[in-house]
Structure 1
Amino acid sequence: MRRQSANTAPALQKDAYYVLLTGDHAIGRIGLRILIAKLGPHIHMDEATDIDSMMQRLGSGPVDLLILDNNLPQAESFRLITRIRKEYPTVHVLIYTVHNELILAGRYLRTGVRGYLLKDSGETEVLGALSTIMAGKIYISDSLARHLADQKVDPRIHSFDSLSNREFEVVLQLVKGYPIAEIARILNMNTSTVRTHKNRVMKKLKVSNSIELITLAQKFQLLR
């Protein structure tokens, strides 16, 4: 899959296209609105400021494209993406993030999202990503394409990708320095399950302690 050109908006096959912007920063949503409006008057936009209001909106009317800020609480959960894909299979999801986490981006794509876009992307790239997804294609940036290629030659990247989604979610909390009990609360798990996932993660990543895990996470830009 190659990155698509952003020179022109696609010729959409429908008279109306519905976009739901989900994020807790009004300025960011306003900026996206301005850009999306350039794609044509047939674009209809709505907003949600948290996951609960987003799910309510998904269930109350048509949505073709969900633009999700993964910095929102609960938005990091791959179970959320799985739920959206199951309950609303026709909705395309674009992850919109400030974090250049290519390992995370690749995992999101495998979960079923249609693209992963950085908030500091220029107008041309943003419009290109939106146009590509609206045309029914998957958007992959040049940097993400290189990362996906690197998976074949770097065994450490492969180790991260060998983690289950739940194990990966535990890693994201471990590298933030959260104790087992807090991770259990955040991920709605019991502490023994978190410990089991942690032990499996350490074995798969070939690290022996939290310092080594954090060092590896820093190398692959998983720390925030």
Structure 2
Amino acid sequence: MKTAPSKPPRSQEDGHGRILIVDDHPIFRRGIAMLLEHEEDIRIAAEAEDAAQAMTMVERYSFSLVIADISLKDVNGIELVKSLKALKPALPVLVLSMHDESLYAERALRAGARGYLMKQAPPDQVVAAIRKVLSGELYLSSAANLLMLNTFVSGRGQTGKNSVESLSDRELEIFEHLGRGLGTTRIAHDLHLSVKTVEAHRSHIKTKLGLATAPALVRAAVEWVTSRTLDG
């Protein structure tokens, strides 16, 4: 059933952090709003369930921060970050997602996000991340910071012809799901895509990574996710 369009932002006093949250789960959006309701200087001013709604809201209204998930109904959240940076370069974005930071934090920051945090983080850490990004700083967890430092020092992650880094944001998302043992139908459901679209992405991933068969693709995905998780 199609949900009603998002309401205009609630009015706030000058100086308060006006946050737009972009997530396709109403319960999660409500949870963040409840988390911030006792914070006098920051609160959720508006909500959007997909990237299209978010872009419309940002075009029409002024916000201090956007909190966005990666898995949205229309486009990948990292693509939303890129679009937001193109539209409002000074508007900070904090990615708050279920996806493992060891797989996505670096890519989100390269896209223009000012921070990355996983949804299972403690509430006080979420508030701390919001405040840090609102103050103009970058935010990553200690584990993500260490992982990115290790990646830089080791030189791993350099883009090559058959590198995972050559995958698009959506392809990487599907590659991660494959590596976690999910099948095409489940991936399509979780990412709000058709089965045919997922199959097309799988084919493109195989080509980019130089893999000949579907089992080889799954094996490579499992090995990659496992290695990234262990390194983190």
User: Amino acid of the residue matched to residue 215 of structure 1?
Assistant: V
Residue 146 of structure 1: CA displacement? 1.4
Instruction: Give yes or no for contact 2:36–2:42 (8 Å, CA) kept in 1.
Output: no
Instruction: Give yes or no for contact 1:173–1:183 (8 Å, CA) kept in 2.
Output: no
Q: 1:152 to 1:51 in 2, by over 3 A?
A: closer
Number of the residue aligned with 1:201: 209
TM-score using structure 1 length = 0.72
TM-score using structure 2 length = 0.70
Number of the residue aligned with 2:173: 172
Residue 26 of structure 1: CA displacement? 2.2
Q: Which runs of 5+ in 2 are unaligned?
A: 1-13, 186-193
Counterparts of residues 86-101 of structure 1 (less than 5 Å): 86-101=86-101
Find the aligned partners of 1:61 and 1:164 in 2 and give their Cα distance: 35
Number of the residue aligned with 2:58: 58
Instruction: Give yes or no for contact 2:51–2:80 (8 Å, CA) kept in 1.
Output: no
Q: 1:41 to 1:125 in 2, by over 3 A?
A: closer
Q: Secondary structure at the match of 1:94?
A: strand
Aligned length: 197
Q: 1:171 to 1:33 in 2, by over 3 A?
A: closer
Number of the residue aligned with 1:135: 135
Q: Which runs of 5+ in 1 are unaligned?
A: 1-13
Q: 1:48 to 1:217 in 2, by over 3 A?
A: same
Residue 177 of structure 1: CA displacement? 5.2
2:222 to 211, 215, 220: 215
Find the aligned partners of 2:183 and 2:42 in 1 and give their Cα distance: 46
Residue 43 of structure 1: CA displacement? 4.3
Find the aligned partners of 1:132 and 1:95 in 2 and give their Cα distance: 13
User: Amino acid of the residue matched to residue 50 of structure 1?
Assistant: D
Q: 1:20 to 1:116 in 2, by over 3 A?
A: same
Name the stretch that deviates more: 148-157 or 83-92.
Answer: 148-157
Instruction: Give yes or no for contact 2:167–2:205 (8 Å, CA) kept in 1.
Output: no
Q: Deviations over 1:137-194 (max 9, x none)?
A: 110111101110221455665569872462x532433536559xx788469xxx6x98
User: Amino acid of the residue matched to residue 163 of structure 1?
Assistant: E
Q: Does 1:123 align with 2:128?
A: no
Instruction: Give yes or no for contact 1:171–1:198 (8 Å, CA) kept in 2.
Output: no
Name the stretch that deviates more: 98-107 or 138-147.
Answer: 98-107
Instruction: Give yes or no for contact 1:152–1:158 (8 Å, CA) kept in 2.
Output: no
User: Amino acid of the residue matched to residue 207 of structure 2?
Assistant: N
